[in-house]
Amino acid sequence: MSFDRFARNSIFGTIAGLSSALGSFLGMVIVARTLGPVGSGVVSMGIWLAGTAVTFADLGLPLTVSRFVPELNAREQNLEARAFAPYFLKMVLLTTAIVVGLCVALGVGGAEWLRGHVRFSILSSSPDSIWLVVGFVFACQAIGNFGLSTLRGEQRFDRAAKLTTFGAPIQLTAMAAGALMGGAEGALLGYAVGGMATASVALRLIGAKVDLPDELKRRSWRFAVNSWIVGVISTIVWSRVELAFLDYWRGAREAGLYSAAYTLCALAVQGPMLMTGGLLAYFSERHAVSDQSGLKEAYAQAVRFMSLLLLPACFGMAAITPVILPLLFGDAFSDAAPAAAILVGAQALGAISTVSSTFLMSVERGAFLVRVGLLGVLFSLLAGMTVIPFFGLEGAVISRAFVQGLLTILAFIFIERGLQCPFPLGAVLRITAAALGCAIAARAIIVLWPQPVALFLAIPAGAILYVAAILAFRALTPSDIQAVSKVANRLATRAAPLLGAFQARRRG
């Protein structure tokens, strides 16, 4: 895959992800404003439970489709490439049915039985019927994820962007209406609606009679199992497992405060993170043709590129958190501001680790992620049983920052020493210095003028200082500058017709 195609896929992936993320973010803001900390805590817990169940139930197969279909097409094995996704869909539908059945059992009496025999306080502030809603959210998300991975594996990022962009406003409207009319359960139903468009892509594959060579099956299942284990570990280490511990030990209110902080954190990293959509295919094709030098350069360039975007986004958002968090979610969430600042700032390093984990999966070294991830699981569970019960929200964000930082550093060390792919430390340090300057400038304005209107000055000032520092520190290589220019040109090319249509409509 050429960098041009990678840039094109990344742009469409970004458009798709931003549409979905913006819909979810605005939906959670509406839920927070409508239902308050307790209600938003219930909604966030339901979404987290459904997402976690997806990770356990998909067996790593969506990622496997995204990984192997580009490789098969690169080797011109077109028949196997077309048969790949339909072959594994049956297993995804089976595991989805099992989890939905479990949710139905909890909703019609199972949860009540558990409360009578063991401590079962998950979603205890809601009627047991909410488990039926969680099952529906899970089913839409599980099948939708497989459909989205099918499109990515086929390099049809443009269609994925269209479907997710179409679903985002529907999801936002449905969440808002659901929260107003049905409380937390209604908001969850609205959230599920957004995944139906991509789920339809997977459902169209039902009934196809396909088969794969035995060797390809063995390779695929080996990769799937490794990626599944990594996914399960990531759910504990990288997902919002702290939300479950807070809900269990401290109640729905603190879970709601953490949810607001995490949502703000996701807003900071969402745009840059979504540009990693083409990385797996990009790395996989270089690995498939044994282009070791190209693989090393692609890895280093990806780290620099993601650092360039993520570090100022995270540090800058952390700087303005005391103003923007209550502005978005309401004064009832002001207590979450200090924790949110820590969480957002620390997320920069964890987000960049997406490059290292994707790289390791593309070269089929996922076993390392399993081993090091188990260490993270141990620390996360220990924190959930010790730090979080005693220190609550602050303990949750600090323990999360520690665990994720440790695992990120270990992964980069392994890639450099074990795979001979050097980490671009000098460039990343220069970018970090520039991003800190951006944050300091924005924070100074917020401290001197602690009003929402100050954001209109703080954000541009931080951005201008950041760009100036990047140029002064010479943080980018000539190839980086060329790559950034290509992405910017493609974005401008895609945006020009939309801008022209908008202007023509205004004139009309």
- For residues 328-343, give the mean pLDDT: 84
Question: Each residue of 256-268: pLDDT tens digit?
Answer: 888 888 878 777 7
Give the C-alpha separation, 50 to 222, whole Å: 25
- For residues 477-497, give the mean pLDDT: 60
- Least confident range from 69-78, 96-105, 182-191: namely 69-78
Question: Each residue of 401-456: pLDDT tens digit?
Answer: 888 888 888 988 998 888 888 888 888 899 999 999 999 999 999 888 888 888 89
Residue type, 175: M
- pLDDT over 90, % of the chain: 7
Question: Each residue of 42-97: pLDDT tens digit?
Answer: 888 888 888 889 888 988 888 888 877 777 777 767 676 677 778 888 888 899 99
pLDDT: is 342 or 115 the higher one? Answer: 342
CA-to-CA dists, residue 210 to 20, 142, 270, 447, angstroms: 32, 22, 37, 63
CB 283 within 8 A of CB 359: yes
Residue 502 pLDDT > 50, yes or no?
Answer: no
Question: Each residue of 128-183: pLDDT tens digit?
Answer: 788 899 999 999 889 888 888 877 776 666 666 677 767 677 788 888 888 888 88
Q: Where are the domains of the chain?
A: 3-495
Classify burial at 142, counting beta carbons within 10 Å of its beta carbon; exposed 0-12, middle 13-18, buried 19 or more: buried
Name the pLDDT band for 10 (thresholds 50, 70, 90). low
What is the model's pLDDT at position 1? 46
- For residues 190-203, give the mean pLDDT: 78
Please state, rounded to an integer, the average pLDDT across all residues of the chain. 78
What is the model's pLDDT at position 102? 92
- For residues 241-246, give the mean pLDDT: 82
> What pTM was computed for the model?
0.66
pLDDT: is 220 or 252 the higher one? Answer: 220
Give the C-alpha separation, 296 to 353, whole Å: 16
Distance of CA 200 to the CA centre of its chain: 22
Name the pLDDT band for 483 (thresholds 50, 70, 90). low
Radius of gyration in angstroms for the set of CA atoms belonging to the chain, rounded to a whole number: 22
